[in-house]
Structure 1
Amino acid sequence: MATLRNAIGSLVALAGVVAVVWSPFRPWYGDRRGKDYLVVDLFRADGVTGDHARLAGSLFAPMLITALVTLMGLVLRSRLLVGLTGLVIIALTVLWAVRQGQAAGSLTVGARGEGLNTGVATAAVGGAALLLAALVMPGRRPRHADAFAPAPIPEPPPVAYDVAPEPPLGAYDPVSERPLRAYDPYSDPSSDPSSTRGVPGPYDDPQEPYDTQPLPSPPSATPPPWPAPPPETR
């Protein structure tokens, strides 16, 4: 979508550039062309004069500069540059109309080209096209937005695991005669046939556990009497 908007905006801006550069070669007021007006006449308080201008000092110079800046803005995908050039073209056209009205006393549009002519309309349409191109173009995305954007996490491919069913408790291998299921210490020991927990051993008293049998009495502290010595024989 952004690529399509850039393409449409670039085409509209190029059309505006062609109109802006071509407008000084068209008649602006009567039969006088835009390249015949001096640029300095736009800043005179009494309006434009009848002096004939050279091409480098005429209205063609600012039109050419704004066209070059527009092309630079298209290369950089800068909406700001394209929009500013459109505003500059419209401002120059309005300023020229004000100075021409001061010099002539009024602005007229004659049917035979005696007043405002096609050059003014061409310049105004070119400036409006540049403004429209700046609105259509999405502009260039800043680099820091791509730098901090989270990278997409690829989904792992599905893995098929061939898991054999767990054998039930009490199942034995007929060859090794060993239980097929490992003993779980947290399960009930009575449910595991290979468990020996809770089974009395050969030295266990099944009647009474070890912790309830009475302890044997300690030996007496009084030493046993010594036997009498045998009688002396002569």
Structure 2
Amino acid sequence: MIRDVLGSIVALAGAAAAVLSPFRDWYDGRLGRHYRIGDLFTGVTGAHPGVFASILLPFLFAAAVTVVGVLLRSRLLVALAGVVVLGFTVLWMVRQGQAAGSLTVTGDGHGLQEGVAGALGGGVLLLLGAVLMSGRRKRRSRPAEPYAAPGSASPDTWPPTREPGPSVQTSPWPEPEADPYVGPAPGPDDRPTS
């Protein structure tokens, strides 16, 4: 239970970081939402797409998958969301590196910036959340076992006679065993007279 809660919190934090990352600078002062999804497959251009045609869309999809995964306690869905975030971020880095000639990290506002770090961190948090979650456990039902009476040699004998096969007694209760050290029970003629 605690693992599920902790994993869910980490996964939701990762999803939030991934969704917020396109609203920050990614490279040379350009916001992440200013990169088209198509640029990831054809090459980075200077076009500024609408919000839902930008790289934000796969991150929103990953966040929705994360929420569903947390609600269903599905480690697989949360891990899938992490792979989507990391995959699109790495694909963007490859395309941006091809367009710029190289990727650099500088402190003066040029090169990779905090938006990329937020996306990578969000993806890692999603994967970590999936690892932390215990997930759903399948309940295994035990096969029905036949009732074994106490003292019986095998479950197919009742009442317990220690002999295999069905019992020949008509009573549902076992017959009392005779004690060899005690004599026969007194009958009506054996009463003491006074």
The equivalent residue for 1:121 is 117
The superposition leaves residues 3-53 of structure 1 with CA deviations (integer Å, 9 ceiling, x where unpaired) of 110110011011101101100000000110010000000001xx2001111
AA at the equivalent of 1:21: V
User: 1:19 pairs with 13, 17, 20, which one?
Assistant: 17
Q: Is the 2:17–2:122 Cα contact (8 Å) retained in structure 1?
A: yes
The equivalent residue for 1:103 is 99
User: 1:70 pairs with 46, 63, 66, which one?
Assistant: 66
Distance change in 2, residues 1:186/1:127 (3 Å): same
Q: Within 5 Å, give how 1:35-46 maps onto structure 2.
A: 35-44=33-42
Deviation at 1:185, TM superposition (A): 7.7
Distance change in 2, residues 1:187/1:137 (3 Å): same
> What count of residue pairs does the alignment treat as equivalent?
153
Distance change in 2, residues 1:107/1:149 (3 Å): farther
Give every structure 1 segment of 4 or more consecutive aligned residues whose post-TM-superposition deviation is greater than 6 Å: none
How many angstroms apart in 1 are the aligned matches of 2:179 and 2:90? 94
The equivalent residue for 2:135 is 139
SS of the residue aligned with 1:80? helix
How many angstroms apart in 1 are the aligned matches of 2:179 and 2:32? 100
- Structure of higher RCO (CA pairs closer than 8 Å, 6+ residues apart): 2
* TM-score of the pair, normalised by structure 1: 0.61
How many angstroms apart in 2 are the aligned matches of 1:95 and 1:118? 17
Distance change in 2, residues 1:185/1:12 (3 Å): closer
AA at the equivalent of 1:52: H
* TM-score of the pair, normalised by structure 2: 0.74
- Root-mean-square deviation (CA, aligned residues, Å) is 2.1
Q: Whose Rg is larger?
A: 1
Identity %: 51
Distance change in 2, residues 1:123/1:185 (3 Å): closer
How many angstroms apart in 2 are the aligned matches of 1:7 and 1:113? 38
User: 2:26 pairs with 24, 28, 45, which one?
Assistant: 28
Q: Which runs of 5+ in 2 are unaligned?
A: 145-177, 187-194
How many angstroms apart in 2 are the aligned matches of 1:185 and 1:99? 94
